[in-house]
Amino acid sequence: MQYSEISYFVKQGSYYLQGYLVLQGSENMSIRSQLLKGILDGCVLAVIEKETVYGYELSTKLQVAGLNDVSEGTIYPVLLRLQKNGYIVGEMRPSDSGPNRKYYSITTEGLQALREIQQEWVTVSVPITKLLGE
C-alpha cells in the first residue's frame, strides 16, 4: 500500500471516529461551524454579488478572505439551498480546458436577501463584539 493510501485510511478512520462521537444536533459541532452556520449563506451571496463564480473559485475566495477552515464540502449544500430559494442561478459554461463548470450569479431576490443579511449582521455584530470584547 502506498503512503497516500495508508494516510487516507487513517484519516478516514479518525473522521469516522469523530463522526461517531458527534451527537445528533449541535452540541459537539465545533464552535466555528456553529457560528458560521447562520452567516455562511450571506458570505457566499456576498462573494457571488461581486463576481460570477463557480464552486472551486468560490471556496478559494472564501479561503483567501480568511475563512480557511470553511471546508469546501460546506459550500455545496449552501449553493443548493440558495438556488432552491431563487437567490442565485447556476449556468453551465463549457470551458476550453475541458471541464464544464456551473457559474453562479445573484438574482434580484438574492440581492434583497443579501442586503437584509448585511443589515442584520451590523445590527447584531456590534453588541456582540461589545459583549464578548470585555
Partner 1 sequence: MNVQQLVKLNNERKKMLSKPNLKYYEDLLVYIRLANRKDEQAKEEVLMEMLEHLIEAEQNGVEADAVFGKTPKQLADEIIESLPKEKKLSGIYFMAETLVLMLGVYIASTGIFNIILKQDFELHTGNVLATFGVIIIGFLVLLKILIGGIRKASFKNKKAPWLIPSIAMTIYIFSVSAFTVFVPGFGKSFTVTPLMMTVVGVVLLVVYGVMKLIRK
C-alpha cell at 57: 473559485
Residue 38 vs 77, nearer CB to partner 1: 77
C-beta of 16: minimal distance to partner 1 in Å? 6
Residue 9 vs 109, nearer CB to partner 1: 9
C-beta of 13: minimal distance to partner 1 in Å? 10
**Terminal-residue alpha carbon distance, the chain:** 53
**Angstrom distance (rounded) from CA 91 to CA 114:** 20
Task: Locate all alpha helices (DSSP H) within the chain, ordered by sequence.
Answer: 3-21, 31-50, 55-64, 72-84, 108-133
C-beta of 81: minimal distance to partner 1 in Å? 5
Contact positions vs partner 1 (CB under 8 A): 4-5, 8-9, 11-12, 15-16, 19, 54-56, 59, 71-74, 76-78, 80-81, 84, 90, 92, 99-102
Note whether 109 and 85 are within 8 A (CB): yes
C-beta of 108: minimal distance to partner 1 in Å? 20
Running DSSP on this structure, what letter comes out for residue 27? T
